[in-house]
Amino acid sequence: MNAIYKNVLGGKQGAIGLALLAALIFLVLPMFLDIFRLNLVGKYLTYAFAAVSLVMLWGYGGILSLGQGVFFGLGGYCMAMFLKLEASSPENTAIQSTPGIPDFMDWNQLTQIPWFWEPFNSFGFTLFAVIAVPGLLAYIIGVAMFKRRVGGVYFSIITQAVAAILTILIVGQQGLTGGINGITDLKTLHGWDIRTDSAKLFLYYLNGALLIGVILLSRFILSSKLGRLMLAMRDKEDRVRFSGYDVSNFKIFMFCTAAAISAIGGAMFTLQVGFMSPSFVGIVPSIEMVIFAAVGGRMSLIGAVYGALIVNYGKTVFSETFPELWLFLMGGLFIAVVMFFPNGLAGLYEKHGKPALGKLIARLRKPPPLEPMGNVDVTPVREAA
């Protein structure tokens, strides 16, 4: 029991940080936001899955994937395919030349459902595929790259190429994938309408619970010997090899785990937003995910969640006012984080927030106010030498 407390929750401070995050997601936000805005927050939180996966992969493992959008997108597409098939019942699509197939297939003169769509009639298979399809792709990329000791910047470039390739593939195969528009008009899940307010509220809570679960899982992995080994590998890969470990297997495992986590986020995105399109797969969204992790703090699982929330909130606000400027602002933000606060918000908190909070507590001798920015993962921030 004690070991669980220490390893999964991260001790007292980790438990407090997690409790504050849970309170924010489950109580504070639903209390103050209407369902439209809450749904928006739910969408931001699906990106947090990708950001959390990058903390593990990039922050701890030193493996910078610029293609997390691929796995986020694949998870989302798997879910969207199931929902689309359900939304394309013969009654709903009676006006098509071939009723009973998704509308975009009909527009592209397809007359039957392609073979790889067939299994997505089963919800069980879909849930399996949400994890397995991105996991398998990550495994193939991982084996091809890490067994050949491709690493560092070369690996990043290749993941980016994969993101570009997948986007082009999806856009090009309009009849099979819905093309640039993506898979839209998703309606029900086993007859349960996902567009209603009550469904949106339920999905928001489910999303929050999954996110907390993923953070706990990540904490468990990082606090095991595997976590220490990842740090060791980031520092001295050769030494790990000469201590008798097959380094590539560990990298493959981390890459697959990160892919699966991102994919859960993607599937929840589809459910909450109601569609999936290639614009969540490509290079730009993949890099945005890295920025969420960097802003939140690449060594902090909880920081990554705040990073995703804040940057996305900023994006919504700014892109409404200055649509052209947003990408420049995003680039500037990334440069600023790398140059001035490399450990992100979590690092700032460790450096300034925590001492100030300590002083405040000492002065007031009472617990500090609930401050969403104030709770940060307690995993010690270990800088690369």
Among 245, 318, 326, 341, binds another protein (CB under 8 A): 245
Question: How far apart are alpha carbons 160 and 27 in whole angstroms?
Answer: 38
State yes or no: residue 246 binds another protein (CB under 8 A). yes
Among 124, 191, 244, 323, binds another protein (CB under 8 A): 244
State yes or no: residue 1 binds another protein (CB under 8 A). no
State yes or no: residue 359 binds another protein (CB under 8 A). no
Minimum CB distance to another protein, residue 230 (Å): 10
Find the angle CA(212)-CA(214)-CA(217) to the nearest 5 degrees.
115
Stretch that binds another protein, among 33-41, 116-124, 161-169, 237-245 (CB under 8 A): 237-245
In the bound state with another protein, the residue whose beta carbon lies nearer, of 37 and 236, is 236
Among 22, 23, 33, 226, binds another protein (CB under 8 A): 226
In one-letter notation, the amino acid at residue 158 is: I
In the bound state with another protein, the residue whose beta carbon lies nearer, of 80 and 301, is 301
State yes or no: residue 8 binds another protein (CB under 8 A). no
How many residues appear in the chain? 385
Among 12, 235, 351, 352, binds another protein (CB under 8 A): 235
Question: How far apart are alpha carbons 179 and 303 in whole angstroms?
Answer: 35
User: Would you tell me the crossing angle of helices 68-87 and 123-146 to the nearest 10 degrees?
Assistant: 160
Among 12, 249, 325, 351, binds another protein (CB under 8 A): 249
State yes or no: residue 146 binds another protein (CB under 8 A). no
Among 12, 37, 195, 228, binds another protein (CB under 8 A): 228
How many other C-beta atoms are found inside a 10 Å radius of the C-beta of residue 315?
17
Among 37, 195, 239, 351, binds another protein (CB under 8 A): 239
Stretch that binds another protein, among 127-135, 177-185, 230-238, 333-341 (CB under 8 A): 230-238
Stretch that binds another protein, among 33-41, 116-124, 130-138, 376-384 (CB under 8 A): 376-384
CA-CA distances (angstroms) from residue 237 to 17, 75, 115, 227, 253? 32, 31, 43, 14, 16
In the bound state with another protein, the residue whose beta carbon lies nearer, of 228 and 352, is 228
Among 37, 236, 351, 359, binds another protein (CB under 8 A): 236
Helices H / strands E in the chain, number of each: 18, 2
Give the containing element (helix H, strand E) for 82: helix 68-87
Stretch that binds another protein, among 64-72, 77-85, 205-213, 228-236 (CB under 8 A): 228-236
Minimum CB distance to another protein, residue 381 (Å): 10
In the bound state with another protein, the residue whose beta carbon lies nearer, of 57 and 273, is 57
Question: How far apart are alpha carbons 172 and 188 in whole angstroms?
Answer: 27
Question: How far apart are alpha carbons 273 and 113 in whole angstroms?
Answer: 24
Minimum CB distance to another protein, residue 367 (Å): 31
Find the angle CA(219)-CA(299)-CA(56) to the nearest 5 degrees.
55
State yes or no: residue 363 binds another protein (CB under 8 A). no
Dump the DSSP string for 161-226.
HHHHHHHHHHHH-HHHH-GGG-B----EETTEETTSHHHHHHHHHHHHHHHHHHHHHHHHHHHSHH
Residue 65, Cα to own-chain centre: how many angstroms? 12
How many other C-beta atoms are found inside a 10 Å radius of the C-beta of residue 191?
7
In the bound state with another protein, the residue whose beta carbon lies nearer, of 217 and 310, is 217
Query: Which residues contact another protein (rule: CB under 8 A)?
Result: 221, 224-226, 228-229, 231-232, 235-236, 238-247, 249-250, 253, 382-385
